[in-house]
Structure 1
């Protein structure tokens, strides 16, 4: 590049530099200063807005509709007077809303109010502060109360979880009748308990309470509890069916299987015996030499009756039947001992005489209904059943063939009571 070109390039750079200096000095610096003044000097800002409002087009429309500072002051002054003319409590409520949403506007209005009447303004400002404190305290107290209630519900759920089922049901039903709003708390309490315990309570409790509680649960919780109730129902039905099986089984087999707690819990056995006939229960229990087992069983039966709200208890009837059956069985044992010592020919004559008498000589009655009738024929068959085979054989030899055959058939017939 020659010297002329270098000079030309240098000259152009100087020109550009001068232009940039002019632009900064004449345009950018003044605009910056104007902007600072515009946003910090209200008078200047109003004049600029008025001037720009005279320009045509959208720009002019915007600034023509832009509130002037005078207009803003007028509106604030109007509001200040409006609030001062209100009751101080009402004014405080309204101004509190302004303070909550626009702190700057609140300060401006209070300044104007204070310039009009400082005493009333001071009173209103004091009430606004009280509202702020009260609002904060209200929410704080509310949250604290809610937390306390939640803890009370959880503590009650834990208590009922550990409490005996029968006691819980009685307590709940009593409170439900005596306390109008208890059902709401009860639903919350049962919600936080173990689902199996909740289901057990609802299984036995008054159906009205059950329906209300389940209706207050969310769908998932309600479904889970109802499933647990169904499971409980199935278990109860199985025990009822089990009772029907043992009703037909020989006593000796029943004693081995339901005469102890090896196969079933005492509460399960209570449900089985509760569904047996009174006589069958008595025949089984009369041959069990375990007073503790019998006492625990009766206690469990009475508890089950209370849970089911049975009007009549079978436990006393079973107890009375046990005495009757035990006394009868003891007399049979005594007769066997007597007949074993007698001559077989004399025993044969007694047997033939008693076999023809099928009339009731004594009976066990429950509620005026005979449940166990004893005749001469039944007595002698029970005696012969317990005699030694050798003695029985000799007795039969002294009897007529048809009568001996009849007795043999009776002795061979399955007897579920033995």
Structure 2
């Protein structure tokens, strides 16, 4: 009985071993096929075609799988889009893909290289350097880049602290001496405000501007060029306004140009630069705030230096202001004298001055002349006399002289 039990157990054990062997032989090809399916792309596409013939949902599932042609088309579309990106963005995207799918990364490199081999040289170099992150050489390059970034930051802070004229002169000096190279200047322009960058390129030595333009990233260059055009358009608009204000009355001129309520001082400098010295001097002679005038002179000086002109306008304007102030002082003195005169005496004086109309005083400033006639002096004095005194004077003059003086007096008052 015991022998029978042992024999039964032995047979059962043999059957188990045989079952395991059979299952193993069945699993090995299944596992092999499964591994090949997921590792061999061509085999996977072939099996999908056969499996799609299966009935029911199983066949439908494999029919919905993308074909090799469809997948290649998607890759082509991705490559065409990626090649339009800026180099640094393209490198970032490729590194992300490499971390998730090395095979796709390799395929995209090939497709991108077909699209634009020139651009991909720089991309491959950037990728190669990125892959050396753990390398000592890369760490050294990283330290160099950090030092370079710090130097650019220091230069940006330094030049931003200077006036625009000093900054321009400093950049030109450092560039010509070799202390500032093209690459550093391009990085500097990207590290300061857009307005500063545009003004730098507007007023720098044209040879430097052209050289550094090739070093700027395309997007940065476009933004700076757009800002430069905005500045040019604004200056042209102010130049046109200057010719309009030239013809306005002194009261209108003084209201808009005698303070910084309507225009910035920088814009006023452009306006005064494009008006005559005579008009500018007359306006500023009526301005009492000296701090405003001083700042305006400084801005005009800056504008002339940036445009490589001799900085004479502030001096000429100051001289014109002094001439008009002296003339106004003389007018006030005569007002007091004429106010005390009898109507008969005043009539004789006015008759003679209007008849002869000699030049009272004349000054030459720059390319312009400022001239005051006796007739103008009479009109300006009458403008300050008491109305009843003026009325009595006009009655005492001859009819022709009274009409002539009245018309000029009215015209002068409206101007």
Question: TM-score band, normalised by the shorter chain?
Answer: 0.5 to 0.7
Partner of 2:348: 349
Residues 341-399 of structure 1, C-alpha deviation per residue, up to 9 Å, x if partnerless?
Answer: 111122112111111223424201014x5521122222222222322221111111111
Partner of 1:295: 294
- Aligned residue pair count: 297
Partner of 1:249: 248
> Could you list the runs of 5+ residues in structure 2 that have no partner in the other structure?
1-6, 26-133
CA distance in 2, matches of 1:309, 1:169: 12
Match of residue 373, structure 1, among 371, 377, 390: 371
Structure-2-length-normalised TM-score: 0.64
When residues 171 and 258 of structure 1 are mapped into structure 2, their CA distance, relative to the original with a 3 A threshold, is same
Aligned ranges for residues 138-153 of structure 1 at < 5 Å? 138-153=137-152
Aligned ranges for residues 16-415 of structure 1 at < 5 Å? 137-179=136-178, 182-367=181-366, 369-414=367-412
CA distance in 1, matches of 2:210, 2:307: 17
The two structures, once aligned, show a CA RMSD in angstroms of 3.1
Partner of 1:110: none
Secondary structure of 2:370's match? strand
Secondary structure of 2:262's match? coil
User: What's the CA shift for 1:283?
Assistant: 0.9
Once the two structures are overlaid, the 10-residue window that deviates more, 223-232 or 142-151, is: 142-151
Structure-1-length-normalised TM-score: 0.64
Secondary structure of 1:362's match? strand
Once the two structures are overlaid, the 10-residue window that deviates more, 327-336 or 179-188, is: 179-188
When residues 195 and 291 of structure 1 are mapped into structure 2, their CA distance, relative to the original with a 3 A threshold, is closer
When residues 323 and 393 of structure 1 are mapped into structure 2, their CA distance, relative to the original with a 3 A threshold, is same
- Answer with 1 or 2: which has the greater Rg: 1
When residues 372 and 206 of structure 1 are mapped into structure 2, their CA distance, relative to the original with a 3 A threshold, is same
CA distance in 1, matches of 2:191, 2:372: 57
Partner of 1:75: none
Secondary structure of 1:276's match? coil
CA distance in 2, matches of 1:259, 1:181: 42
Partner of 1:79: none
Dislocated runs of 4+, deviation >6 Å: none
CA distance in 1, matches of 2:162, 2:318: 30
User: What's the CA shift for 1:137?
Assistant: 4.4
Once the two structures are overlaid, the 10-residue window that deviates more, 220-229 or 289-298, is: 289-298
Query: Is the contact made by 1:166 and 1:306 (CA closer than 8 Å) also made in structure 2?
Result: yes
User: What's the CA shift for 1:140?
Assistant: 3.3
Secondary structure of 2:372's match? strand
Residues 110-134 of structure 1, C-alpha deviation per residue, up to 9 Å, x if partnerless?
Answer: xxxxxxxxxxxxxxxxxxxxxxxxx
CA distance in 2, matches of 1:185, 1:286: 47
CA distance in 2, matches of 1:192, 1:225: 12
When residues 138 and 219 of structure 1 are mapped into structure 2, their CA distance, relative to the original with a 3 A threshold, is closer
CA distance in 2, matches of 1:177, 1:294: 36
